[in-house]
Amino acid sequence: MISLGFAWAFLLLPLPWFVWRFAPPHRKQVPALRFPFFRKIVETIGVAPRSGAIVLTRSRLQMLAAIVCWCLVVLAMARPERVGEPIEITKSARDVVLAIDISGSMDTRDFIAPDGTRKQRLEAVRDVVRSFVERREGDRMALIVFGSKAYVQAPLTEDLDTVISLLDITEVGMAGPHTALGDSIGLSIRTFEASDIEQRLLILLSDGSDTSSTMSPINAAEIAAGHGVEIYTVGVGDPGATGEARVDLDALENIASRTGGEFFFAEDETDLNAVYDRIDELAPRQVEVLSYRPRQPLAYIPLALAALVGLGTILLLHGGSRRRAAA
């Protein structure tokens, strides 16, 4: 389909006629011979002297070529363009950050798999989170791991295969033996600063209590709420344990409630799968569909035609004058 980007340009079509009709004639002084007996000559022939003028005449070919060239130039100014078929782009309307605890306690083998075998906590978490990430195709996700310190493994990206690959090579203790819940929330907030999307979701999984953060998890949650970050917390591990091995369910629940999120607790792999299924239900994929039509400018075509018409007219007039001169 051909469309015009600036159809108002056609109002310029009658402009040459208005100039010819209403503008004063162009005057130009030219050299002339002056001789002393000019007055006697004009008296002899009985002509009164007055200002002289030479009116240049144009042939029909010149007038036709000028009209065609002007129409083509106006058509080029109207910006003709070829409009293609609509192209739709699906863009994520929500950014998701996964914050995974990889402290020393995640090495404990107390997670019961569906087949009854015991699995390492981090191994079970990886299997479930991998499936969850694969179902979020089209979302932008980031991966943060934390132990004694919090680190960004993958910034916000739509390349979910890379997020899964980085999660697969993550091992217990890579970030230190302790648990920095508050720092992981703070780092998540900074990760979201690179996003211009208002819907922001943090999924925080931990099996311990905060022992090494520079900021308390509750204060970090308050700041996250102020930045529009909704936090879903997932607790795994043993609430009855002591020290750093004890999962602080109260703190995780408090973090979630302060941001309008949800808190979950999983005792085995089946529970963990159910948790992430529930998160999918509570926070389904949100996408924004953008549609546009590709446009190809065509103004160069009438401009090229105008140049060809003008050049052809000049060549025809030049050839005619040479033939008349030869005759």
Residue 73: predicted pLDDT:
93
Residue 277: predicted pLDDT:
86
| pLDDT over 70, % of the chain | 87
Rounded-to-integer distance, Cα 245 and Cα 243, Å: 5
- Token pair of 99 as six digits: 């914050």
As a whole number of Å, the end-to-end CA separation of the chain is 53
Rounded-to-integer distance, Cα 213 and Cα 181, Å: 6
pLDDT beyond 80 at 284? no
Choice among 241-245, 290-294, 297-301 with the minimum mean pLDDT: 241-245
| pLDDT over 90, % of the chain | 30
* Tens digit of each residue's pLDDT (9 = 90 or more) over 103-154: 888 888 877 877 878 888 888 888 888 888 888 876 788 999 998 999 999 9
For 80-87, what is the mean pLDDT?
Answer: 84
Confidence band, pLDDT 50/70/90 cuts, at residue 285: low
For 236-264, what is the mean pLDDT?
Answer: 81
For 14-37, what is the mean pLDDT?
Answer: 78
Residue 120: predicted pLDDT:
86
Domain boundaries, the chain: 2-85+293-326, 89-289
Which tops the pLDDT comparison, 262 or 87? 262
Confidence band, pLDDT 50/70/90 cuts, at residue 326: low
pLDDT beyond 80 at 65? yes
Residue 257: predicted pLDDT:
93
* Tens digit of each residue's pLDDT (9 = 90 or more) over 296-317: 899 999 999 999 998 998 888 8
Report the mean per-residue pLDDT for the chain. 84
Looking at the structure, give the CATH architecture of the domain made up of residues 89-289. Answer: 3-Layer(aba) Sandwich (3.40)
Rounded-to-integer distance, Cα 139 and Cα 236, Å: 25
Which tops the pLDDT comparison, 145 or 278? 145
Residue 52: predicted pLDDT:
62
* Tens digit of each residue's pLDDT (9 = 90 or more) over 160-191: 899 999 999 999 888 888 888 899 999 999 99
Confidence band, pLDDT 50/70/90 cuts, at residue 90: low
pLDDT beyond 80 at 41? no
Q: Which of 57-66, 135-144, 251-260 is most confident?
A: 251-260
Confidence band, pLDDT 50/70/90 cuts, at residue 272: confident
Residues belonging to the chain: 327
Residue 44: predicted pLDDT:
79
Residue 244: predicted pLDDT:
62
With b for 16 or more beta-carbon neighbours within 10 A and e for fewer, the 269-291 pattern comes to bebbbebbeebeeebeeeeeeee
Confidence band, pLDDT 50/70/90 cuts, at residue 225: very high
Residue 288: predicted pLDDT:
61
Residues near 185 by Cβ (< 8 Å), separated by ≥ 6?
A: 99, 202, 204, 217, 220, 221, 223, 224, 231, 255
